[in-house]
Structure 1
């Protein structure tokens, strides 16, 4: 296995996944559809039958293993990263696979118990390129081994992309790692044709501010595309909420075309300081309506909690940038929100606040001096790290580095973003400690360096206690 991050927290895939019925193969003349089909073959189909995602199933299995070994856990739903010695090694775990076909750069950081999960890899898949593995699907039907081999390739080699971060392969890899079900385009279009969702005003008040300083994103992704995606997500979450409450799913909203378009400047940014700064009465009225609707939406019931929160626009941006269609971006984003971090968009975003507390806790463990200095300046993570936790660091440019970091996070767990944020702090440790006003430095983190952050995050992982890591895994649920 490529890294300690998932070797200890993600065991082998459940047998039920191995017998899942595959969809009929698409036309051999359509290369893109072949790639998408094999992506779903390599990923899980269990989600189509209402079962948890790959990562959720693996975490549950790991939790059950720990309970059977009477591991002392305060949280019943939290799997734990374990340092297992020869004396207490689980019977299912043998010795390390020291003659693995592919070299793992993190082997020196890993205990033998963690390295042992490398033996689940399929060595025929090891010999294949990542692109061929995604295109052709699991080798000899070995989903578990092929998936582990793919993760190791992502860690060792990355996903090939150009200078702008564009890759025809990336979205398919993300769909696999997120265990996304197949979605036909008509299902996405049906959500679009329903018109404005209950969260539409909030969405419109955020989308024009999304990555406004990033020319790569602005050139490739239109605001209209981002609005459609977020509005469709809001409808989907709204329907799920209505189902839980036993209410009929409603339409009756005006279509997007019937809603007055928000004026925009040539730069794509609109001043929100005051409605009086706009030029015409109609524009002032529109700006005031957007502001009032957004600010009072939670209390007034206009936008229900759990359908849209501020910041989802930035979180959606990399999905649209990497995807080859809005429908692909939609299903990957929806799967991410509902399976990996539902706590980030639920109610008062409790998952985000738990993540911020964990940033402080981890920093105090791995670098007490830096942690103490920040606290003496009244700088807790709540002040400087909120955007980084909520958006998985997508708020920090450059976008190509965000995509590379997300490859790592999707392969080994989005919860590792907590460690990646601590890693960013440690990379600028000297500047923080020598700055009389580190608040100015932390208002915007330095440009992302995905490889350095990944390496340091894995090193941080070795230093934190098992109970803290269990909290990190479960904080976004």
Structure 2
């Protein structure tokens, strides 16, 4: 097992050449681990020594207000009001209500997102966004709706704009090979959630999942064409005979090695599915929070192909690795609780599968899911495993007092994002670095 890279190594890696997107995402996640486990003391305006429920209940204020940049960007057309023209330059903008509807002053998080990084420093801008998400949360109304959350997710996940024509072209191709499976699932997606049913139609869910299925189908077809072996069997035999074993083992030209390398880098491979049961629930919050299907499509497709491709590969091997990590992390953080569950034959495979696969989207209420996802997208979706451990710890007394914990674990209590995030931040510090590295890579 390799040790976690030092800050100097991270800086060198960031400065060297043009690293791949996958490598940069791994670096950002490791940096997030260092940030969360360092008591937040690295932030220039933070003097706190710990992050717990009390800190999130009364988050520490920044020493100075968020810098108001001299250069202001015009708002996008989708966000601009028909009565209020976009403002450019240094002209003062008229205050308006935030997405929460409470008061007229914009939150520091919204100001930071709208104004962009100071002097074009993207790294500093992302650090500021992450800190504000952890300390102030995204402002939203009672239904969980926020005027800027979708833009925050697009920025945190580094997703460029998707042309509407691209999405429409996928829609116009008609039924994908996974259409029947999709229709068998969509009607029961968050079926008991009135907020979701009021805002998202089954038709839009079908369209989005069908479009993603076509996109994944095309990627698999392209990858299969690249990895198809040559038909010249004589040439293959000559290469096999004349190539020394040491070189043959290191060769990266074989289809198997190509697939393994693609799997590690988060690329869709021949083993990937174009739809698996549960993708409908994972897709639901994206459609609920987005302002258009195109935005939801960009978010969902990018998320499953870059952040958790292992969840849709083969027999969901990434999900099963995540379930084993739930058991291992619980055993480290709460050994008594873990021992009791194991004595009852209750491994995470039996109760946590939906929570791992859907990033806790299967547990209501939906507004709390959105707040939890703000945190996951800021610091890494791999932290969902620790969020599940945090939920188990919050149920600790009830589980230990029950002779049949399987009845309790059939459905988790309603999400409380603030408490779960606060407890997850504490749990991070107890996870050894080698195990945390496994958390980062489990969904790849």
Match of 2:129 in 1: 150
CA distance in 2, matches of 1:221, 1:105: 42
CA distance in 2, matches of 1:333, 1:9: 34
Aligned positions, number: 350
Establish whether residue 180 from structure 1 lines up as the match of residue 147 from structure 2: no
Query: Taking structure 1 as reference, are residues 214 and 83 closer, same or farther at Cα in structure 2, changes over 3 Å only?
Result: closer
Cα offset, 1:388, TM superposition: 0.2
Contact 1:9 1:81 in 2 (8 A): no
Find the partner of 2:413 among 446, 449, 455: 446
Match of 2:331 in 1: 364
Query: Taking structure 1 as reference, are residues 103 and 225 closer, same or farther at Cα in structure 2, changes over 3 Å only?
Result: farther
Find the partner of 2:310 among 331, 343, 346: 343
Cα offset, 1:181, TM superposition: 1.7
Establish whether residue 238 from structure 1 lines up as the match of residue 241 from structure 2: no
Relative to the length of structure 1, the TM-score reads 0.67
Structure 1 segment 235-274 matched on structure 2, within 5 A: 235-246=214-225
Find the partner of 1:52 among 8, 11, 21: 21
Structure 1 segment 364-443 matched on structure 2, within 5 A: 364-443=331-410
Flag structure 1 segments of 5+ consecutive residues without an equivalent: 1-6, 18-45, 66-78, 86-94, 110-117, 248-302
CA distance in 2, matches of 1:380, 1:125: 50
Cα offset, 1:204, TM superposition: 0.5
Query: Taking structure 1 as reference, are residues 16 and 151 closer, same or farther at Cα in structure 2, changes over 3 Å only?
Result: farther
Match of 1:131 in 2: 110
Query: Taking structure 1 as reference, are residues 375 and 96 closer, same or farther at Cα in structure 2, changes over 3 Å only?
Result: closer
Match of 1:473 in 2: 440
CA distance in 1, matches of 2:420, 2:188: 27
CA distance in 1, matches of 2:144, 2:202: 20
Cα offset, 1:16, TM superposition: 8.9
Match of 2:204 in 1: 225
CA distance in 1, matches of 2:37, 2:381: 24
Query: Taking structure 1 as reference, are residues 393 and 62 closer, same or farther at Cα in structure 2, changes over 3 Å only?
Result: closer
Contact 1:183 1:327 in 2 (8 A): yes
Aligned residue for 2:138, secondary structure, equals coil
Match of 1:206 in 2: 185
CA distance in 2, matches of 1:62, 1:206: 32
Contact 1:11 1:61 in 2 (8 A): no
Cα offset, 1:461, TM superposition: 1.1
CA distance in 2, matches of 1:398, 1:9: 42
Q: Alpha-carbon deviations, 1:288-344, whole Å to 9, x = none? A: xxxxxxxxxxxxxxx984211000000000000000000000001111011100000
Flag structure 2 segments of 5+ consecutive residues without an equivalent: 1-5, 54-61, 70-105, 227-269
CA distance in 2, matches of 1:8, 1:414: 22
Runs (4+) of structure 1 moved beyond 6 Å? 7-10, 82-85, 125-128
Contact 1:199 1:231 in 2 (8 A): yes
Cα offset, 1:139, TM superposition: 1.6
Q: Alpha-carbon deviations, 1:224-253, whole Å to 9, x = none? A: 000000000100011111111118xxxxxx
Aligned residue for 1:204, secondary structure, equals helix
Q: Alpha-carbon deviations, 1:178-199, whole Å to 9, x = none? A: 1112101111000000000111
Relative to the length of structure 2, the TM-score reads 0.72
Contact 2:170 2:214 in 1 (8 A): yes
Aligned residue for 1:246, secondary structure, equals helix
Q: Alpha-carbon deviations, 1:384-426, whole Å to 9, x = none? A: 0000000000000000000000000000000000000000000
Aligned residue for 2:210, secondary structure, equals helix
Cα offset, 1:80, TM superposition: 8.0
CA distance in 1, matches of 2:290, 2:41: 38
Q: Alpha-carbon deviations, 1:89-137, whole Å to 9, x = none? A: xxxxxx9658x3255574699xxxxxxxx9xxx9737998221222222
Match of 1:192 in 2: 171
Query: Taking structure 1 as reference, are residues 97 and 57 closer, same or farther at Cα in structure 2, changes over 3 Å only?
Result: closer
Query: Taking structure 1 as reference, are residues 441 and 398 closer, same or farther at Cα in structure 2, changes over 3 Å only?
Result: same
Cα offset, 1:375, TM superposition: 1.0
Match of 2:195 in 1: 216
